[in-house]
Amino acid sequence: MRPFTYINLAISIDGKLTTADRKLHGFGGPEDRDLMDELRSRADAVMIGAATLREEDPLLWVRKPERLVVRAEQGREPQPWNVIISRSLDLPSLEGSMFFNTPDFRRLVFTGMNHSEERVAEIRKLAEVYCVADVDQGLDLQAVSEKLYQMGARKLLLEGGGTLNFAMLKQGLVDELYLTLCPLIFGGDSATTAVGGAGFAFDQVRQLELLELKHGSNDRIYLRYRCKQV
């Protein structure tokens, strides 16, 4: 068993998550940020890749007080667990990281098997660390999902980046996709795309079913898709 898993993305018209210089994040606007907060409030855990952690050092938190009240009324933890996927354990400086040094939420790091005991012990001072096997030049995300389910997570929100999005889709672990399409063009061959990685061969292309479409403020388009499982 695994959690119901959904991706939330805000992208430019040309499919980018950020600019080539990696300096523009959160460009979806206030309505998109509210959607992100709502989706986080539904989740038991929020997952990102290590590259996103290095670039943004985010706290994957629910912000609106009324949503925190609802979580409390439901008997849930105040904040969803924050989950990092890092095969290499190439993480930001633990001492200077807001993510690793802010109290009162559960941090989990999933990584590979081939790390020194000293490195794992260092990270375990600030987060739970779980080691899983490698598959296809990446981590066994099926094992990660199953572990999260065993720990009590029933809904998992995936917030990127593109390499992790691809890996989760490739391993058939995504159920729905929320997409905010923004009227911006970033360009740049090196700018991160919504789904990166090696890419799918023609006969492996993933298909989606449109569930919802809304024209939001500032010409943003909000889409929700069901991922058809292969």
- The boundaries of the domain holding residue 195 are 4-227
Per-residue pLDDT of 167-219, as tens digits, reads 999 999 999 999 999 999 999 888 889 898 888 788 888 899 999 999 998 89
Q: Looking at the predicted structure, is the pLDDT value of residue 230 above 80? A: no
Is the model's pLDDT at 27 over the cut of 90? no
What mean pLDDT value characterizes the chain? 93
CATH number at residue 29: 3.40.430.10
In this predicted structure, what is the pLDDT of residue 21?
Answer: 86
Q: Are 147 and 130 in contact (CB under 8 A)?
A: yes
CA 84 to chain centre: 8
Predicted TM-score of the model (pTM): 0.94
Distance between CA 182 and CA 15 in Å, rounded? 9
Over residues 146-151, the mean pLDDT reads: 98
162 vs 78: CA distance, rounded Å? 28
Q: Which tens digits make up the pLDDT trace of 109-126?
A: 999 998 999 999 999 999
- Which pLDDT score is estimated for 198? 80
pLDDT at 86: 95
State yes or no: pLDDT of 11 exceeds 90. Answer: yes
pLDDT of residue 117: 92
pLDDT of residue 192: 86
Q: What is the mean pLDDT of residues 134-148?
A: 92
Q: Contact, 27 vs 140, CB < 8 A?
A: no
- Provide the number of structural domains found in the chain: 1
| 96: preceding bond cis by omega (within 30 degrees) | no
Beta-carbon neighbour count of residue 2 at 10 Å? 20
Q: How far apart are CA 32 and CA 216, in angstroms?
A: 9
| Structure-token pair, residue 149 | 């389910």
Q: What is the pLDDT of residues 53-112, one digit of tens each?
A: 998 999 999 999 999 999 999 999 999 999 999 999 999 888 889 999 999 999 999 999
pLDDT at 23: 76
- Which tokens go with 181? 């399409």
Q: What is the pLDDT of residue 150?
A: 98
